[in-house]
């Protein structure tokens, strides 16, 4: 693929594309790898494979002249190790101290830290200690939990440490794969993981020349489920697995220079801040600006008004301002997040969460891009429904294919046939694969698969009848020609190929004539979906999450798997993503509508995620191979599945320890519950902050009245302590991806905060001027009101609808009511201020409950009538205006399409009616003719 053919528009070049292009231009010799059609020679030549290219720089080419009989000397190997470095992919580790300090960053954290500094300046050591402890508790919880996740990952990584047989100083020794250098001679055998990029030498491990081919699984690199046959001169790549055969190879690239290393290094390009963190920072910035502006105005006002008086002392005013700031800022948001993270770790089993905020982001994910091989499927060939010739059954084809299979073979196709036969035939249930004979049959000769003839043959004796016959198994075209197949059998092969099924032909001779072959049928093989994948996709669809399959396999295979999983079959070829004849907008729209993508490379996966994100979607990506790593890093939530490579694990935010995708559904439920709680808390906290600041801002400026500092601090501590239990409240799970509608959230908070402020002033004036309480009692009355009215509001903010739609948890209710009982006791017994009578305190609490009822009605009305169009009108930014215009244009387009479909439907209905009218007379004539014939028959019988 030549990226220079792409549109010159710079927006079409991602960072990934530029890096790949630079690497391609920097190297001079291009050599095509063996990822070609050869892999299909064994049984079916209809399948092609993804091609990747790799270049060997001249300075390394000069080093590749090692004698295979002696290998490198220890001295040369050591010098090359010093020059090229260890054969490992470097993983950047953050300094633990700097990582701990990172938990003190963020807009809200900065405001709390500023309050901490002011508390130290005015020597308010109580507030200083409380604020500092809160910051350190939050940072410690986050640091400890993420450190645990990293330790678990390191433990998993240690289990993957590799040893390699290397020829050094003329003999084979076993070394750590990290010690390999360019020019090393390594032995590759069945089951080995290729430790570095290497060229096959066509020499067996015993030193003799060999024409044998290695069967290599490179699914971690290309995503293809079918293994590849490699011969002398071909390249094999680090992290691929040898499935069959043995051969010597010469290392030509190690570490970060390997294909897997270069791909894995690209994951460091995307360093965007998480979506959830951006939202928290926006909420924090809003609260900071409100707090800073109003508190600054109060400070300036008091400095000017009380200048040259004892009340005008700057430190004294600062102390008073500090109390207001501490009471206003949402310090408990950190504890809320920490409790949520604790619940995440407790609830999600068999999951390692590397980035804790990724679970919150999962609630807003609307598209899940999933790698197919090994994630949606089992990554192993399985026996599918066969095509049978007339006179044969499924048991026949299973038996004859087993009789013509090589015992103990490690070939994926042979294993699939043997496994299917043992499961489907009773006589093979307890049969040992190492035995040459099958109960009732004796195999007198066996010719293994011959690449030139593309078939294997067995001669078998039926012990019951003493008849001898031959069986042939191989490429469908070869078997059809051998058995003299007809057009029907040829069409069957074409049908299987169109569905992406790998076919094997089976034929046998007539026992009476060993030269006369009969076609038994065709075995079909496929990498099948995991048993739980279809159900998981259906659950995700019900939760409003679109699933898009991304695979390196061929288009026909992707369509067949998508069909079996109940997905749409709109699968795009990867080249569609870099089509220079289409605009970026067209490609993005096609990505949005597609159900999947086939024949992709790591760059294509990266582009799919990028295009969808530009369209406004929050994207999750699952994968297990190195080819998935860049896309995992780019996605809003990267999910590495069980058995993933180190590169995928490093790039992901979440690592699954159980097979398949079913765990993701649990994650979505958990994340949406957490989202609802965090939104409830945000709405409550912004509303209460606006109410608190607005009331005291006006009343200080207008009447120079405020509450004693101890009461203000008590309000902040009790309210924040009680609201932490939102973390365990019963949440109403949304059936659609959740979104942080900040415009709606802030507007609703402003309305509710202003509404509460109005009631607070009414409360103030009624008790001061109408009831006539003393100034000391007024402090107690307003304390109890400001403690209860906003606090009860949490029952209104916990749901978008009415509170009875989802009953709160007992712990939640107990906590809220408990704090108010405590506030009532303080007010009645006068522990911190002048006491009021019990009746007055109860009336204040009942009034607060009445305010709650009005708040719920107001909230429901706003939610009901809110729309993006209203947001664009209230806050008409250029981005919102553009988005609104695009939505209106899309709505008009959809309306026209629907109208055209309606017209077409009417035309089709009219055509069907006309057709039925035309057919009716013919049916009547036929019925009359049949009646006449029946009558004639009756007369003749008489």
- Give the C-alpha separation, 894 to 915, whole Å: 31
CA nearest to 186, candidates 73, 177, 62, 79: 177
- Give the C-alpha separation, 758 to 855, whole Å: 12
Q: Provide φ and ψ at 350, rounded to 5°.
A: 55, 40
- Give the C-alpha separation, 290 to 281, whole Å: 14
Q: Is 371 a catalytic residue?
A: yes
CA nearest to 33, candidates 181, 197, 186, 206: 197
Answer for the pair 72, 181: CB distance below 8 angstroms, yes or no.
yes
R_g (Cα) of the chain, nearest Å: 37
Q: Provide φ and ψ at 209, rounded to 5°.
A: -65, 145
Which residue, chain included where needed, has tokens 């965007």? Answer: 272
CA separation (Å) from 342 to 173, 220, 275?
48, 33, 20
CA nearest to 597, candidates 640, 630, 554: 554
Q: Using CA of residue 597, residue 599, residue 602, residue 604, what is the dihedral sign?
A: negative
- Give the C-alpha separation, 868 to 874, whole Å: 10
CA nearest to 535, candidates 527, 543, 525: 543
Q: Provide φ and ψ at 117, rounded to 5°.
A: -65, -45
Q: Which helix (H) or strand (E) holds 906?
A: helix 878-941
DSSP E strand stretches across 562-661: 571-573, 596-598, 619-623, 637-640, 654-656
Phi-psi region of 739 (alpha: psi -120 to 50; beta: other; left: phi over 0): beta
- Give the C-alpha separation, 928 to 125, whole Å: 107
Answer for the pair 254, 78: CB distance below 8 angstroms, yes or no.
no
DSSP E strand stretches across 293-419: 351-353, 367-371, 382-388
Both tokens assigned to 450: 């011959």
DSSP per-residue codes, 722-758: HHGGGGGSPP---SS-----HHHHHHHHHHHHHHHHH
Cβ atoms within 10 Å, residue 822 = 14
- Give the C-alpha separation, 792 to 770, whole Å: 25
Helix (H, G, I), strand (E, B) or coil at 937: helix
In sequence order, the β-bridge partners of residue 185 are 167, 250
Chain length of the chain: 942
Q: Give Cα 627 distance to the centre of its chain.
A: 15
CA end-to-end span of the chain: 85
- Give the C-alpha separation, 635 to 368, whole Å: 10
Answer for the pair 634, 232: CB distance below 8 angstroms, yes or no.
no
- List helix spans (H) across 245-379: 259-265, 275-305, 314-328, 332-347, 357-362
- Give the C-alpha separation, 560 to 225, whole Å: 14
Q: Provide φ and ψ at 660, rounded to 5°.
A: 80, -170
Catalytic site residue from 371, 553, 624, 720 = 371
Helix axes 775-792, 838-865, angle to 10 degrees: 40
CA nearest to 189, candidates 239, 243, 252, 238: 243
Active-site annotation, residues: 371
């Amino acid at each position: 693929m030549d990226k220079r053919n792409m549109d010159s528009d710079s927006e079409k070049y991602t960072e990934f594309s530029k890096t790949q292009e630079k690497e391609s231009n920097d190297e001079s010799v291009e050599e095509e790898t063996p990822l070609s059609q050869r892999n299909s020679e064994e049984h079916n030549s209809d399948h092609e494979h993804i091609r990747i290219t790799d270049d060997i720089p001249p300075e390394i080419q000069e080093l590749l002249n090692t004698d295979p009989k002696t290998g490198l000397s220890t001295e040369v190997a050591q010098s090359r190790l010093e020059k090229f470095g260890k054969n490992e992919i470097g993983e950047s580790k953050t300094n633990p101290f700097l990582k701990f300090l990172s938990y003190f960053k963020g807009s809200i954290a900065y405001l709390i830290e500023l309050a901490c500094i002011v508390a130290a300046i005015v020597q308010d050591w109580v507030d200083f200690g409380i604020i500092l402890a809160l910051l350190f508790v939050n940072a410690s919880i986050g640091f400890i939990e993420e450190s645990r996740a990293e330790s678990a990952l390191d433990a998993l990584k240690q289990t993957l440490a590799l040893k390699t047989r290397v020829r050094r100083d003329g003999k084979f020794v076993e070394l750590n794969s990290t010690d390999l250098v360019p020019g090393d001679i390594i032995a590759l055998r069945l089951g080995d993981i290729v430790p570095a990029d290497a060229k096959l030498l066509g020499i067996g491990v015993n030193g003799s020349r060999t024409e044998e081919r290695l069967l290599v699984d490179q699914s971690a690199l290309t995503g293809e489920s079918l293994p590849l046959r490699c011969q002398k001169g071909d390249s094999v790549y680090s992290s691929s697995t040898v499935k069959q055969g043995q051969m010597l190879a010469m290392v030509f690239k190690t570490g970060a220079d390997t294909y897997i290393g270069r791909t894995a290094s690209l994951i460091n390009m995307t360093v965007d801040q998480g979506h959830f963190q951006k939202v928290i920072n926006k909420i924090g910035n809003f609260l900071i600006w409100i707090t800073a502006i109003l508190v600054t105005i109060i400070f300036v006002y008091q400095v000017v008004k009380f200048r040259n008086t004892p009340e005008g002392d700057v430190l004294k005013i600062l102390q008073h301002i500090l109390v207001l700031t501490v009471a206003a800022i949402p310090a408990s948001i950190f504890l809320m997040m920490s409790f949520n993270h604790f619940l995440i770790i407790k609830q999600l089993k068999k999951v390692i969460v590397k980035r804790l905020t990724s679970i919150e982001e999962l609630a807003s994910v609307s598209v899940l891009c999933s790698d197919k091989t090994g994630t949606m499927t089992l990554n192993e060939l399985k026996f599918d429904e066969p095509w049978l010739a007339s006179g044969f059954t499924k048991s026949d084809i299973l038996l004859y294919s087993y009789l013509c299979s090589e015992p103990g073979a490690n070939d994926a196709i042979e294993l699939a046939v043997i496994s299917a036969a043992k499961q489907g035939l009773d006589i093979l249930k307890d049969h040992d694969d190492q035995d040459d004979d099958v109960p009732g049959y004796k195999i007198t000769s066996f010719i293994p698969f011959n690449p030139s003839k593309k078939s294997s043959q067995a001669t078998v004796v039926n012990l019951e009848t003493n008849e001898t016959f031959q069986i042939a198994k191989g490429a469908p075209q070869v078997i059809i020609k051998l058995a003299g197949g007809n057009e029907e059998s040829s069409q069957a092969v074409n049908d299987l190929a169109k569905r992406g099924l790998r076919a094997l032909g089976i034929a046998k001779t007539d026992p009476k004539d060993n030269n006369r072959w009969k076609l038994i049928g065709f075995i079909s093989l496929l990498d099948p979906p995991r048993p739980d994948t279809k159900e998981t996709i259906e659950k995700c669809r019900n939760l409003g999450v679109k699933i898009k399959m991304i695979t390196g396999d061929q288009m026909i295979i992707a369509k067949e798997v998508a069909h079996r999983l109940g997905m749409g079959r709109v699968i795009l070829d990867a080249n569609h993503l870099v089509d220079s004849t289409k605009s970026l907008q067209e490609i993005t729209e096609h990505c949005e509508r597609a159900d999947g993508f086939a024949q992709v490379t790591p760059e294509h996966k990266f582009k799919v995620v990028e295009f969808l994100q530009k369209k406004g979607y929050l994207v999750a990506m699952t994968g297990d191979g190195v080819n998935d790593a860049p896309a995992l890093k780019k996605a809003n939530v990267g999910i590495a599945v069980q058995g993933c490579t180190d590169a995928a694990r490093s790039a992901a935010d979440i690592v699954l320890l159980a097979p398949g995708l079913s765990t993701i559904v649990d994650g979505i439920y958990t994340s949406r519950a957490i989202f609802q709680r965090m939104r409830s808390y945000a709405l409550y906290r912004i509303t209460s902050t606006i109410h608190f600041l607005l009331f005291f801002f006006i009343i200080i400026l207008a009447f120079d009245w405020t509450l004693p500092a101890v009461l203000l601090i008590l309000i902040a501590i009790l309210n924040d302590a009680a609201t932490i239990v939102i973390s365990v409240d019963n949440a109403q799970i949304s059936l659609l991806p959740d979104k942080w509608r900040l415009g709606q959230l802030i507007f609703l908070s402003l309305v509710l905060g202003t509404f509460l402020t109005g009631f607070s002033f009414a409360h103030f004036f009624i008790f001061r001027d109408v009831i006539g309480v003393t100034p000391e009692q007024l402090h107690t009355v307003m304390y109890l009101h400001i403690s209860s009215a906003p606090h009860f509001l949490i029952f209104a903010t916990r749901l978008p609808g009415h509170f009875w739609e989802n009953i709160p948890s007992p712990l939640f209710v107990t906590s809220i009511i408990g704090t108010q009982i405590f506030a009532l006791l303080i007010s009645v017994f006068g522990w911190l201020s002048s006491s009021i009578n019990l009746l007055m305190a109860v009336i204040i609490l009942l009034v607060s409950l009445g305010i709650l009822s009005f708040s719920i009605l107001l909230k429901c009305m706003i939610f009901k009538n809110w729309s993006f169009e209203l947001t664009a009108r209230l806050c008409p930014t250029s981005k919102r205006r553009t988005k609104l215009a695009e939505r209106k244009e899309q709505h008009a387009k959809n309306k026209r399409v629907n109208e055209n479909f309606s017209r077409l439907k009417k035309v089709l209905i009219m055509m069907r009616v006309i057709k039925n009218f035309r057919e009716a007379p013919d049916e009547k004539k036929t019925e009359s003719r049949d009646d006449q014939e029946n009558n004639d028959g009756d007369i003749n019988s008489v």
